Amino acid sequence: MEFLNDHSIQNELLLIFISVVLGILIGAEREYRNKSAGLRTFILICFGSCLFTILSIKIGVDDPDRIAANIITGIGFLGAGVIFKGDNKIDGITTATTIWATASIGMAVGSGYVYLALLGTILVLLVLSSLTVFEKLIDKEHRIREYKIAVVNHEDVKHCEDIFKKNHLKFIISKQQYSQGNLATSWIVIGKSANHEALLKNLMEDEKVIAYQF
């Protein structure tokens, strides 16, 4: 900390510049994947965390972690803003945790621990990019979809169950809605991606199925 207090303005500007560069690296990855928080968001998070940390060290002589500690509270509000409920899962968790990790990287830069910030950035990028391959493999073997299938007769619900079983898919009924002579049933269906594709073909060709969506 004492070393940082003796930094010249040029060195502090260098730390801020480094935080912006690291924010660009993480933000570019999120922007490329078209996530809710993109390039500008992550630049500002990393830069802001760095600047607040520098200010905390400079003006909080007796309690240097006072401002820095409140960065986490602010980041919590930002993270909550990108989390939303999808059809059958919660989306935005990865982006929210990336925001949290990026703030820690900015704080590391602001504290002068540039090597930790660089290592953290590399690890974040590795987790976000390389692990996508494993996610695809898991999704291939265990995909969860919600189908809404409309039939005329209540007995045809059993027919839908037979189609799921035929395609080796596990299923549960989520909800049902009856209107204008049609019964629409929402199903949570679990199985391999190839089995889901086969199911879609069966639903398209089945005369008892009026309509479906997923």
- For the chain, list the domains and their CATH numbers: 2-130 (no CATH), 141-213 (3.30.70.260)
Place 4 in a pLDDT band, splitting at 50, 70 and 90. Answer: very low
Strands 90-91 and 143-151: unpaired
Percent of the chain whose pLDDT exceeds 70: 89
- Euclidean distance between CA atoms 115 and 69, whole angstroms: 21
Cα angle vertex 176, ends 172, 179, to 5°? 155
- Euclidean distance between CA atoms 118 and 111, whole angstroms: 13
Query: What count of other Cβ atoms lies within 10 Å of the Cβ of residue 26?
Result: 26
Per residue in 8-65, pLDDT tens? 677 889 999 999 999 999 999 888 877 777 889 999 999 999 998 888 888 766 666 6
Residue 3's pLDDT is 45
Per residue in 60-113, pLDDT tens? 666 666 666 778 778 877 777 777 766 556 677 888 889 999 999 999 999 889
Sign of CA pseudo-dihedral 197, 199, 203, 207: positive
Q: Which two tokens stand for residue 94?
A: 């990865």
Q: Which residue has the higher pLDDT, 3 or 58?
A: 58
SS3 state of residue 12: helix
Per residue in 155-194, pLDDT tens? 788 889 999 999 999 999 888 888 777 888 899 999 999 9
Question: What is the average pLDDT value for the chain, to the nearest integer?
Answer: 84
pTM: 0.69
Is pLDDT above 60 for 6? no
CB neighbour class for 7 (10 Å; exposed up to 12, middle 13-18, buried from 19): middle
Among 32, 148, 146, smallest CA distance to 89 is for: 146
- Euclidean distance between CA atoms 111 and 96, whole angstroms: 23
Strands 143-151 and 209-213: antiparallel
